[in-house]
Structure 1
Amino acid sequence: MGSLKNIVVWMLIASSLFGAKVTSEQWKKGETFSDYLNDRNISTDLLGDISKTDIKFLSEIQGQQLFYELKDQDGNLEQALIPIGKEMQIRLAKERNSEKYHFEIIPIVYQEEEYSATISIEKNLHTDISAALNHSGVADKMGQLFKGTVNAKKFRKGDKVSFVYTQKTRMGQPYYRPSIKIAMYESKGKRQFIYADEDGYGYKSDKKSQSYTVTGKKKVTYTRRVPVSKKGSRFGMPLRHIRVTSSFSYRRYHPILKRYRPHHGTDFGAKRGTPLLAVNAGKVTFSGRMGGYGKVVKIKHAGGYESLYAHQSRTRVKRGQRVKKGQIIGYVGSTGRSTGPHLHFGMKKNGRWINPMRVLRKKSIKTSILKKFTKYEDVKTTKYKKVVIKNAKENKEKLLNYLKQEGKAFIWDSNTQTSMRIKDDEYTQAL
């Protein structure tokens, strides 16, 4: 507030200077604040005095932005007011009896007034409003208001449109776009009020639909594969589909070595890459190459059991890893001494080889099943309700009172003022 008082006092002093005047300028596209200082012979050392917090706002000056300068009779800059957004502005002021300038960011002070107008349609809504009020911004906003409510293209010559709007002004000039509050369309003696919401959209009623979100619960049923768990079938099969090609034997003729040797396991025929399944939960004790067995995985199970999966093309588990029953631990291959892709499956009990088929249960081929589950999820639903448009009734009363008074519409001055004589009461208040 103190800085605002200083501006007013300073401007009152400046206004007494002979020939001092305020000019309205437009910020050049691509121009930097440094360029602006150089163009006005102001030292860029000023930039070093600007705080880090304030200096970031220099990049927010928009191209084609209208700003004001106070110049002495020789055209030297005494003060500049440069907007950065709708509410704040840069104030650059020359210090008294010095060539230095002071920089600060202050609020923009503007006035907001309410106006009313009645327009008789001669050509079309936009053209007639622009011509009558000399303000195309009002015409644009009226077009937005009528969109979706009344077809302005069907307006006939002699129809009337009355409305109430507000306009911010700064230095006696329109500042940003106007805001339509309410309008009325009259044709052949019939009236239709159009109520405006805070965003400038029109409604034929003083109520509008407003969306809101409701969060509820929705029952969701889904399926998931879960391991089979049954008493009496502790060990499952190492493959989903079983085809035994060679059984456990203490004396089997070896097809590669061409001699009889014990076959401590069961061979299962399967295609290369077929997933191999852990026959029960346990801990991996070996994963790697093991002589004629090729790539092997060994798993230690509870109760003194240990399973072996040989000739794999690729293993999927590591030593020390814990696995679940039915978990994929590798893939069928033909590594090591093998005549073709197959699984050699071995089983030990307390360190001695046993016939795997005595503990493996064919009924456990299904290591997992699809099971249905139910859960409740949060579901957001968009609903709508009717709400009263803010100040709808008050604005209607204002428009009706205006129509009773038959007041004249305010016509905006369109003279492009590149230079204005300072008026104490007007200019200082605008600051």
Structure 2
Amino acid sequence: MPMFKSVVVILLALTSLFGAKVTLHDWERGQTFSNFLEEHNIPKKLLGQISDEDQKFLTEIQSDSKYYQLVGADNTLIQALIPINEEMQIHLYRDRESGEYSFDIIPIVYEENEYFANVEINSNPYSDTLECVKEEKIAKRVGQALKNTINTKSLAKGDQVAFCYKQRTRLGEICHMPSIEVIKLTTRGKTKFIYADEDGDGHLEGAQRTSFSKEGDLVHLVPFRDRSKKLGMPLRHIRITSSFSYRRWHPILKRYRPHHGTDFGARTGTPLLAVYEGTVSYAGWMGGYGKVVKIRHPRGYESLYAHQNRISVRRGERVKKGQIIGYVGSTGRSTGPHLHFGLQKSGRWVDPMKHLQRTSLNKQKFNKIVIKDAKMHKEKLVRLLDANSSTYVWDDTSTQSTRIGG
């Protein structure tokens, strides 16, 4: 990691040299990496120097993601750091002597800390949290955790919502949604503790089918409800050969690279199945992915089926869950026949195996949710409240006093 940290240190250090400055931007919807190069007068030959393995990541820059530029006094781009997911970023940089640009993909360096807040209810949890901590992402997560665990409309003025959470920052700016660890709700003289899972959904301590493990984890058995809304599997018989990762060590390239999907081993010609009903948003060749089908589904999902031998649907076509949309192949950058299956939720790459339902799950009545270290987080929150700790406010350095451990 020291090498990657040095990139950030150099970027910041150069701000004091030659009038260079760091600026923060939003990656606009519809913007392409090719357009970005053109806007900054960077020769298109750079694209030809990028490996096939890395070319596919150029199309995976998410709209509205924050990226940094280091620009010289003459408005020449010196460096750019452009995220392609939560863990990895494109590093574009200019050689001071030759003026030539180079391209790489490196891990994003974050600082992650724990924070505390104590909110008094005057209107509703979202508005009051936003007013208290001055950060919308935190207010949204608190609202989400409370949404399905309590009736927020029953809260009265003067009730308290205290919570601990983890938050990542990048070059001093808040990024990504926070991770709520525990919430203590005090209402009408009663106390409730709520814990959030990795998706941000809340689980009430003491609710039906909740318990603590001997390790202090909260275990909640959540009933399966409408199975028809579950995403199915893209193959009738599955054999996973490579799992999803925002960053994994590439044994051949000797560097970190994302793997935005799950690879399934299968013979050439094996039918590929739509995991849910939807509309085909793409059907054709996609660089290193070879022959690809993408399907846009309800609830913000979009699925991707890569390296196909043959495509059997067209763009704009409506498909049903379980319909054959193509056949396993080895087109594009592939070492053998397999399916690379990718899944996006609200424009963000997610681990497919956390969203797809295996056939065997049809026999299960409950989904087991485990929230690690719940009891430890509860004890920590109680200590902070007993110490009369103050809330961390994100836009006021004079009141940023309760960063846990800071």
**What is the TM-score normalised by the length of structure 2?**
0.57
Amino acid corresponding to residue 409 of structure 1 in structure 2: T
The answer on 1:410 being equivalent to 2:392 is yes
Instruction: Report the equivalent of 1:187.
Output: 187
Q: Is the 8 A contact 1:33 1:58 kept in 2?
A: yes
Instruction: Report the equivalent of 1:209.
Output: 221
Structure 1 residues 256-310: Cα deviation after superposition (integer angstroms, max 9, x where no partner):
xxxxxxxxxxxxxxxxxxxxxxxxxxxxxxxxxxxxxxxxxxxxxxxxxxxxxxx
1:414 shift after superposition: 8.7
Question: Secondary structure at 2:132's aligned position in 1?
Answer: helix
Instruction: Report the equivalent of 1:178.
Output: 178
1:385 shift after superposition: 8.3
Structure 1 residues 370-414: Cα deviation after superposition (integer angstroms, max 9, x where no partner):
xxxxxxxx9962144877632110010111011011111111129
Q: Is the 8 A contact 2:114 2:164 kept in 1?
A: yes
The answer on 1:397 being equivalent to 2:379 is yes
Amino acid corresponding to residue 387 of structure 2 in structure 1: Q
Amino acid corresponding to residue 82 of structure 2 in structure 1: I
| Closer/same/farther in 2, CA of residues 387 and 88 from structure 1, 3 Å limit | closer
The answer on 1:100 being equivalent to 2:100 is yes
Question: Secondary structure at 2:176's aligned position in 1?
Answer: coil
Instruction: Report the equivalent of 1:114.
Output: 114
The separation in 2 between residues aligned to 1:73 and 1:15, in whole angstroms, is 10
| Closer/same/farther in 2, CA of residues 6 and 158 from structure 1, 3 Å limit | closer
Question: Secondary structure at 1:31's aligned position in 2?
Answer: coil
Q: Is the 8 A contact 1:163 1:184 kept in 2?
A: yes
Alignment of 1:10-159 (within 5 A): 10-11=10-11, 14-159=14-159
The separation in 2 between residues aligned to 1:389 and 1:13, in whole angstroms, is 41
Q: Is the 8 A contact 2:197 2:369 kept in 1?
A: no
| Closer/same/farther in 2, CA of residues 12 and 120 from structure 1, 3 Å limit | closer
Question: Secondary structure at 2:62's aligned position in 1?
Answer: coil
Amino acid corresponding to residue 396 of structure 1 in structure 2: K
Higher-RCO chain (CA-CA 8 Å, sequence separation at least 6):
1
1:16 shift after superposition: 4.0
Amino acid corresponding to residue 55 of structure 1 in structure 2: Q
**Aligned positions, number:** 250
Identify unmatched segments of 5+ residues in structure 1.
Answer: 213-377, 416-431
Instruction: Report the equivalent of 2:294.
Output: none
Alignment of 1:245-260 (within 5 A): none
Q: Is the 8 A contact 1:21 1:70 kept in 2?
A: yes
1:132 shift after superposition: 0.8
| Closer/same/farther in 2, CA of residues 202 and 46 from structure 1, 3 Å limit | same
The separation in 1 between residues aligned to 2:184 and 2:361, in whole angstroms, is 42
Amino acid corresponding to residue 406 of structure 1 in structure 2: N
Alignment of 1:222-233 (within 5 A): none
| Closer/same/farther in 2, CA of residues 162 and 380 from structure 1, 3 Å limit | closer
The structure with more radius of gyration? 1
| Closer/same/farther in 2, CA of residues 20 and 124 from structure 1, 3 Å limit | same
The separation in 1 between residues aligned to 2:40 and 2:369, in whole angstroms, is 54
The separation in 1 between residues aligned to 2:146 and 2:223, in whole angstroms, is 22
| Closer/same/farther in 2, CA of residues 186 and 2 from structure 1, 3 Å limit | closer
1:26 shift after superposition: 1.3
The separation in 1 between residues aligned to 2:162 and 2:373, in whole angstroms, is 18
Q: Is the 8 A contact 1:92 1:103 kept in 2?
A: yes
Q: Is the 8 A contact 2:195 2:204 kept in 1?
A: yes
The separation in 2 between residues aligned to 1:386 and 1:90, in whole angstroms, is 37
| Closer/same/farther in 2, CA of residues 190 and 134 from structure 1, 3 Å limit | same
The separation in 2 between residues aligned to 1:133 and 1:9, in whole angstroms, is 29
| Closer/same/farther in 2, CA of residues 9 and 393 from structure 1, 3 Å limit | closer
Amino acid corresponding to residue 196 of structure 1 in structure 2: A
Question: Secondary structure at 1:176's aligned position in 2?
Answer: strand
Question: Secondary structure at 1:177's aligned position in 2?
Answer: strand
Question: Secondary structure at 2:379's aligned position in 1?
Answer: helix
| Closer/same/farther in 2, CA of residues 401 and 98 from structure 1, 3 Å limit | same
**What is the TM-score normalised by the length of structure 1?**
0.54
Question: Secondary structure at 1:175's aligned position in 2?
Answer: strand
Identify unmatched segments of 5+ residues in structure 2.
Answer: 206-217, 225-359, 398-406
The separation in 2 between residues aligned to 1:385 and 1:105, in whole angstroms, is 37
Q: Is the 8 A contact 1:181 1:195 kept in 2?
A: yes
Question: Secondary structure at 1:209's aligned position in 2?
Answer: strand
The separation in 2 between residues aligned to 1:2 and 1:142, in whole angstroms, is 35
Q: Is the 8 A contact 1:198 1:390 kept in 2?
A: no
| Closer/same/farther in 2, CA of residues 388 and 47 from structure 1, 3 Å limit | closer
Q: Is the 8 A contact 2:82 2:90 kept in 1?
A: yes
Instruction: Report the equivalent of 2:199.
Output: 199
Amino acid corresponding to residue 401 of structure 1 in structure 2: R
The separation in 2 between residues aligned to 1:197 and 1:33, in whole angstroms, is 35
1:169 shift after superposition: 0.8
Question: Secondary structure at 1:113's aligned position in 2?
Answer: strand
1:193 shift after superposition: 1.2
The separation in 2 between residues aligned to 1:60 and 1:2, in whole angstroms, is 26
Q: Is the 8 A contact 1:196 1:389 kept in 2?
A: yes
